[in-house]
Amino acid sequence: MSQLFSNISIGQLALDNRIVIAPMCQYSADAGKATAWHRIHLGQLAFSGAGLLIIEATAVEDIGRITPQDLGLWNDETESALRTVLEDIRQYSSIPIGIQLGHAGRKASCAAPWEGGEQLSLDAGGWQTVAPSALAYSEQQNPPIAMDEAALERVKKAFVETAQRAVRLGIQLIEVHAAHGYLLHQFLSPLSNQRTDQYGGSLENRMRFPLEVFRAVRDAVPENIPVGVRISATDWVEGGWDVTQSIAFSKQLESLNSAYIHVSSGGLSQDQKIEVKAGYQVPFARDIREQVTIPVIAVGLITEPQQAETLLQEGEADLVALARGILYDPRWPWHAAAELKGKVSVPPQYLRSEPHGVKGILESNE
């Protein structure tokens, strides 16, 4: 039997298979509100047959957006807009849906990637950013304001309130974003965190605020809602955050009842040097998985079904996440099922689409 198409549970959430659709920013919201784009985008992915769909990084406050077009969930208007999208999807798909909650910190206030991605000035619709320390991501950017105690409490409260809004929407899993150089990752890395108080310096101190945020979110939502964390296992910069520190962080998260660890890398520094190749981040997932007992999700240029199957069979991860690859091929799980002799659930309207050579891979979600 295919490992990729075997059942698994994350906390109390049962998944039909081990294919995860990773959160992917779409930069298509209106003042944080989900739009018709999200209905179409998430709708097609909800028909993919994946075991879990995680909604893109969703800002917990307006200044936490990467771009002015980022999705948000910080007030009644953003909650209402996302509700209508989810209600439409739920009419036709039972795929488990999670959401990634994030704050961009010093990497906020930027243009969308296809508009250059550079930081926006106040005159161009940008805003003042915040971070652990007043260190800009690049020399071309205005420095962020170092967060004081009031700012730390505000952001922690924002994560909690956004998580509670997600639960009201019927979202079944919450992922706290501590990767890719955004705010919580900025606290973890000594390259971006040069504080001299209890939140800076030692590894224990640098982990303190991310762990406080996680604990607050975990305590604020029902026990049956799994709460996990996405991390960057390394900054890919000498003297920065690395896999040894990631293992220590993962162990602390496990002790606080994190449901899983989602292992990515990079994003904190322009000095990063990454050798991108097939499965290039999988060894980090393997190293962390050897040290924790909770599920570990691997991601990063996992593009072929047999590649995904092999890494699971060899114990390098418990689940496999796809991002750009599933944007390119939204039916990737269908094709993987055909290759690995698995099964995926689809709306009954699609059952007749099976090619003759692979009859039986599709089953109704009703």
- pLDDT reported for residue 159: 98
Using alpha carbons only, give the angle 137, 139, 142 rounded to the nearest 5 degrees: 70
User: Any residues with CB less than 8 A from the CB of 243 and at least 6 apart, and which?
Assistant: 233, 234, 284, 287, 288
Tokens of 95: 């795929």
What are the 10-residue block averages of pLDDT along the chain, 366 residues in total? 96 98 98 98 97 98 98 98 98 97 98 96 95 95 96 98 98 98 98 98 98 98 98 97 98 98 96 91 97 97 96 98 96 96 93 88 88
Residue of 254, 267, 264, 204 whose CA lies nearest to 228: 254
- Residue 157 pLDDT: 98
**d(Cα 319, Cα 317) in Å, to the nearest integer?**
6
- What pLDDT score was predicted for residue 221? 98
State in words which class domain 19-276+284-295 has: alpha beta
- Residue 205, both tokens: 């101190």
Non-local (6+) Cβ contacts of 195 within 8 A are 132, 133, 146, 201, 205
Rounded to 5°, angle at Cα 263 from 261 and 266? 140
- pLDDT tens per residue across span 254-276: 999 999 999 999 999 999 999 88
Beta bridge partners, 145, equal 130
What spatial distance separates the first Cα and last Cα of the chain, rounded to whole Å? 24
Task: Say how many CA atoms lie within 13 Å of 266 toward its Cβ.
Answer: 12
- The tokens of 78 are what? 């953003």
**Helix (H/G/I), strand (E/B), else coil: 302:** coil
- Asked if 63 contacts 145 with a C-beta cutoff of 8 angstroms, the reply is no
Residue whose C-alpha is closest to residue 45's, from 249, 354, 330: 330
User: Tokens in use for 122?
Assistant: 């106040």
Enumerate the active-site residues: 182
Quick: pLDDT tens for 279-317: 999 999 999 999 999 999 999 999 999 999 999 999 999
Structure tokens of 168? 């009201």
The pLDDT of residue 353: 92
Which segments within the chain are labelled E, that is strand? 8-10, 13-15, 19-21, 52-59, 97-102, 130-131, 145-146, 173-178, 227-232, 261-264, 296-299, 319-322, 344-346, 362-364
pLDDT of residue 152: 98
